[in-house]
Amino acid sequence: MREQWSPIEDMPTDAIKWWDPGYQEALSQWRNLRPQLESTKLDKKIMDIWAEERQRRFAIETGQIEGLYVIPRGITEQLITEGLESVRLSHKMASPEVEDDSLTGLLKDQKTALEMVFDTVAQRRSLSHTAFKEWHQLLTRYQATAASRTLGGKRVGIPLLKGEYKLRPNNPRRPDGVVHQYCPPEQVRSELDRLLDMYAKIHEQSYATEVEAAWLHHRYIQIHPFQDGNGRTARLLMAYAYIRRGEFPPMITAAEKPPYIAALELADAGDLRPFAERLAILASESLNAAVIITKQVLKSSRYYAHSNGDCTYKAPGENEWKRGPDEDNGLDM
């Protein structure tokens, strides 16, 4: 059985009212603190570390959601703290089915792609076919194949088109046997044109950030313009919607995958609001963390706790930051 494909739809008429109180409260706190952070001459080292580690986590988790690799939690925290190149030091413990060079390349490219999104916003570049293709080409540089099935149903890998829209249908079969229909290859460009036109108008209106991000992510996924890598590109688009407003993107981890997919499936059925609400919850966590770190900066904190148990600190009477085990250094916490 096959579903019937239909073109993407504009924003739901009542979506202008979808405001999450928890996110708005966190956003208000961040907006009150941000001017102080930008005007102060205090050492912002711990804020920089936090931001860098968030980008590494985003890079690691976005590939795990797609099943490109599986990295044990302990090694994930090591990579977040010590840098993505430390995957080589973990040998085959990280993801035995993927070569070290390929895994390191995937992780670095996924982080660089997120940095490209920041650059797109900083340079005030609009979303475009060029941006989609550049992001996709970078995201898939170390991915040689895409999953496919033969007429007999056998799962095989076929050469991946990088930075180019799909030439063949890529419709997945769900567990219930129904084939989910994405946009036909011959209509990809026109559907993306519609998405870009709609989004330009949506951004000019007063939608909540999570609503704008949910719409952009979901409608892009409905088109599924590339042979593979669409989920990773969609999460970059989600991040773009937040970064464009000076806010922090939600962090969707592998552990978050089940509710994330469930909310997307509800959006497929015509109800976008649960997906927007899910993003609001996750983005609130990001904002609350930013508020905590900002308050530490404003207090001239000399201590930052990493997720792997280490800390970065500046000892009393010293000017240099050091890295070491999370022990009692007599520092303000």
**What's residue 100's pLDDT?**
74
Distance CA 283, CA 280 (A): 5
Beta-carbon contacts of residue 59 (< 8 Å; ≥ 6 apart): 84, 107, 108, 110, 111, 114
Token couple for 118: 């920041």
Domains of the chain: 15-314 (1.10.3290.10)
CA torsion, ordered 43, 49, 55, 58, to nearest 10 deg: -130
pTM over 0.85: yes
* 226 bridge partner residues: 165
Residue whose pair of structure tokens reads 């593979």 in the numeric block: 228
Instruction: Confirm if 251 and 61 have CB atoms less than 8 A apart.
Output: yes
Tens digits of residue pLDDT in 116-170: 999 999 999 999 999 999 999 999 999 988 776 555 556 667 889 999 999 998 8
Handedness of CA 280, 283, 289, 295 (dihedral sign): negative
What tens-digit pLDDT sequence spans the chain (333 residues)?
Answer: 567 789 999 999 999 999 999 999 999 999 999 999 888 788 999 999 999 999 999 999 999 999 999 888 888 998 999 898 887 656 455 676 677 788 899 999 999 999 999 999 999 999 999 999 999 999 999 998 877 655 555 666 788 999 999 999 888 777 777 778 899 999 999 999 999 999 999 999 999 999 999 999 999 999 999 999 999 999 999 999 999 999 999 999 999 999 999 999 999 999 999 999 999 999 999 999 999 999 999 999 999 999 988 999 998 888 899 998 865 554 554
Contact between 236 and 135 under an 8 Å Cβ cutoff? The reply is yes
Tell me the H-state helices in 143-272. Answer: 188-203, 209-223, 230-243, 257-268
Q: What single string gives the DSSP state of each residue in 52-121?
A: HHHHHHHHHHHHHHTTS----HHHHHHHHHH-GGGGGGGGGGS-TTS-HHHHHHHHHHHHHHHHHHHHHH
**Which pLDDT does position 229 carry in this prediction?**
95
Name 323's bridge partners.
312
